[in-house]
C-alpha cells in the first residue's frame, strides 16, 4: 500500500469516484438531517421519526438481490443510474413535500437505490487501483464516509436553521448533479460475459458462493457477531449521565468514535505494507472490542471518551481490512453479491443489537452493557481469527 497523495495521481478513475462519493455523502448528511427536522416538526412524534430512520435500513433485507445487479450490469452504469434516480426522488420530495406515508415510500425507494449502489462502488475499486493500493483506497473512502457523517449533519443543522428544510433538501439534490459528471469519467466496467438464468437464481447462487468461500464465510460470520456490538450506542448516553457529564458528555462520547475512525483511516493511508491486511483486520476487531469493554470500567468521562476514540481506531482498521480481503480473494464476477450479502446481513444484525440493547440496559446497567458488547466484539475477533485463512 503506497501513501497518499500519489495514489490519486496514479489512479485518476479512483480520484473521480472518491470525489463523487465525498460530494454525495456530504449531501446525504445534510438531507437526512433536514428530513428528520421536517418530520419532527410536522408529525411531532417519536414514532414518526423512528419510522423515518427505519426505512433507511429495510432495503438491507434485499441485499442478495441488490448485489446481483452489481454483478450483472456495468458497475459504472449502476453507480450513475443510482445517483440520477436518487436526485429525481429528492427533487420530487423537495417540490411536493408529501404527507408522511408517501414521504416514507419515496425515501424507501431512495434507500433501495443506495443499497444497489453501495456494493457496486465497493466492487469497482479493484478495477480502479493496483492491488497494493487497495488498503489505502478503502481507507480513504472510509475516512470520507465518516467525515461526511460528521460534517453533513453539522452543515444541515446550520442550513435548516438559517434557510429552512427545503434549502437542506435542495443542497442534497444538487450534490447528485455534481457527482454524476464525475462518475461519467470512469471507464466502463462490464460484467463477466456469462450470465445466469435470472436475477433470483443468481442471487441464490451468490448466497451459496458467500457461504462456501472460506474468506467471505469467515469475515461474514465474524462481522455478524461484531454487529451485535451496536448495543453500545444505547448505553453511551446513560453512561454519560451516570458519570455526571450530562448532555455534553453524551455528545463527546458519540463524537469520540467518529474521531477515532478518522484517525484510524488516516493512519492506514500512511502505514503501507508494514501492516499485513489480515493482521490489521484482526487487530482492529480486537481493539474495537477492548475499547467498548474498557469504556464500561472507568470512573471519569475523560477516560470513557478516550476509550471510545480507541474503539473508533479499531473499527477503521477492521472495516478497511474486511473490504480489502474480500476484494483480493473474491472473483470479480461475484464481488457485488458478496459485498451485499456481508454488509446487508451485518446491518440487520446491528439493528438487532440496537433492539436488544434497550431491554439489556433496563435489566442491568450502562457499564454492564458496554462490558458485554466489548466481550461480544472480542468473540467476533476470535471467531474470525480461527476461521480466516492466512494470507499467501
Per domain, the residue ranges of the chain are 1-191, 197-392
Cell numbers standing for residue 244: 455526571
- Which pLDDT tens digits describe the chain residue by residue (392 residues)? 444 568 889 999 999 999 999 999 999 989 998 998 899 889 877 678 878 877 888 898 888 899 999 999 999 999 999 999 999 999 999 999 999 999 999 999 999 999 999 999 999 999 999 998 999 999 999 998 888 887 888 898 899 999 999 999 999 999 999 999 999 999 999 987 665 578 889 999 999 999 999 999 999 999 999 998 888 888 888 998 899 988 788 878 888 888 899 999 999 988 766 789 999 999 999 999 999 999 999 889 999 999 999 999 999 999 999 999 999 999 999 999 999 999 988 888 888 887 888 888 889 999 999 999 999 999 999 999 999 998 65
Can you give the pLDDT at residue 192? 72
SS3 298: coil
Name the phi and psi angles at 88, rounded to 5: -65, -45
Can you give the pLDDT at residue 272? 61
pTM above 0.75, yes or no: yes
- 197-392 has which fold? Growth Hormone; Chain: A; (1.20.1250)
| CB-based contacts of 292, cutoff 8 Å, min separation 6 | 229, 232, 307, 311, 370, 371, 373, 374, 377
Give the homologous superfamily in CATH for domain 1-191: MFS general substrate transporter like domains (1.20.1250.20)
Q: What is the DSSP string of 181-203?
A: HHHTTSPP-PPPS---S-HHHHH
| Fold match, 1-191 / 197-392 | yes
* Helix (DSSP H) and strand (DSSP E) numbers for the chain: 16, 0
CA-atom Rg of the chain in angstroms: 20
Can you give the pLDDT at residue 44? 77
Handedness of CA 371, 377, 380, 382 (dihedral sign): negative
Can you give the pLDDT at residue 391? 66
N- to C-terminal Cα separation, the chain: 16
Can you give the pLDDT at residue 1? 41
Can you give the pLDDT at residue 2? 47
Within 10 angstroms of residue 196's Cβ, the number of other Cβ atoms is 15
With DSSP H G I counted as helix, E B as strand and the rest as coil, what are the percentages for the chain, rounded to 5? 85, 0, 15
Measured CA to CA, the distance from residue 221 to residue 290 in angstroms comes to: 19
Quick: pLDDT tens for 188-239. Answer: 999 876 655 788 899 999 999 999 999 999 999 999 999 988 888 888 889 9
Can you give the pLDDT at residue 195? 56
Name the phi and psi angles at 224, rounded to 5: -60, -40
Can you give the pLDDT at residue 194? 60
Amino acid at each position: 500500500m503506497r501513501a497518499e497523495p500519489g495514489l490519486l495521481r496514479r489512479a485518476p478513475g479512483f480520484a473521480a469516484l472518491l470525489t463523487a462519493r465525498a460530494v454525495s455523502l456530504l449531501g446525504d448528511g445534510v438531507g437526512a438531517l433536514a428530513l428528520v427536522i421536517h418530520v419532527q416538526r410536522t408529525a411531532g412524534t417519536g414514532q414518526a421519526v423512528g419510522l423515518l430512520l427505519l426505512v433507511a435500513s429495510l432495503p438491507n433485507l434485499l441485499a442478495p438481490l441488490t448485489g446481483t445487479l452489481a454483478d450483472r450490469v456495468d458497475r459504472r452504469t449502476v453507480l450513475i443510474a443510482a445517483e440520477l434516480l436518487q436526485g429525481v426522488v429528492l427533487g420530487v420530495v423537495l417540490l411536493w413535500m408529501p404527507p408522511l406515508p408517501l414521504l416514507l415510500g419515496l425515501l424507501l425507494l431512495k434507500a433501495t437505490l443506495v443499497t444497489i449502489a453501495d456494493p457496486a462502488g465497493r466492487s469497482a475499486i479493484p478495477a480502479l487501483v493496483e492491488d497494493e493500493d487497495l488498503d489505502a483506497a478503502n481507507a480513504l473512502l472510509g475516512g470520507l464516509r465518516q467525515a461526511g457523517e460528521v460534517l453533513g449533519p453539522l452543515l444541515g443543522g446550520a442550513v435548516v436553521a438559517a434557510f429552512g428544510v427545503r434549502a437542506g433538501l435542495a443542497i442534497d439534490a444538487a450534490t447528485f448533479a455534481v457527482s454524476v459528471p464525475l462518475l461519467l469519467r470512469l471507464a466502463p466496467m462490464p460484467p463477466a460475459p456469462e450470465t445466469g438464468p435470472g436475477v433470483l437464481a443468481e442471487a441464490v447462487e451468490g448466497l451459496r458462493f458467500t457461504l462456501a468461500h472460506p474468506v467471505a464465510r469467515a469475515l461474514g460470520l465474524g462481522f455478524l457477531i461484531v454487529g451485535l456490538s451496536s448495543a453500545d450506542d444505547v448505553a453511551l448516553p446513560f453512561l454519560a449521565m451516570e458519570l455526571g457529564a450530562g448532555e455534553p458528555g453524551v455528545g463527546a462520547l458519540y463524537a469520540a468514535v467518529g474521531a477515532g475512525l478518522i484517525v484510524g483511516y488516516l493512519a492506514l493511508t500512511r502505514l503501507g505494507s508494514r501492516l499485513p491486511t489480515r493482521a490489521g483486520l484482526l487487530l482492529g476487531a480486537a481493539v474495537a472490542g477492548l475499547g467498548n469493554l474498557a469504556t464500561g470500567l472507568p470512573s471519569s468521562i475523560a477516560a470513557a471518551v478516550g476509550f471510545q476514540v480507541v474503539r473508533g481506531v479499531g473499527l477503521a482498521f477492521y472495516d478497511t481490512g474486511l473490504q480489502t480481503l474480500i476484494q483480493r480473494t473474491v472473483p470479480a464476477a461475484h464481488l457485488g453479491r458478496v459485498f451485499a450479502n456481508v454488509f446487508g446481513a451485518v446491518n440487520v444484525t446491528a439493528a438487532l443489537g440496537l433492539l436488544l440493547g434497550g431491554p439489556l440496559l433496563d435489566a442491568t446497567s450502562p457499564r454492564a452493557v458496554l462490558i458485554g458488547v466489548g466481550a461480544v466484539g472480542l468473540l467476533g475477533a476470535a471467531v474470525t481469527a480461527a476461521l480466516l485463512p492466512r494470507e499467501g
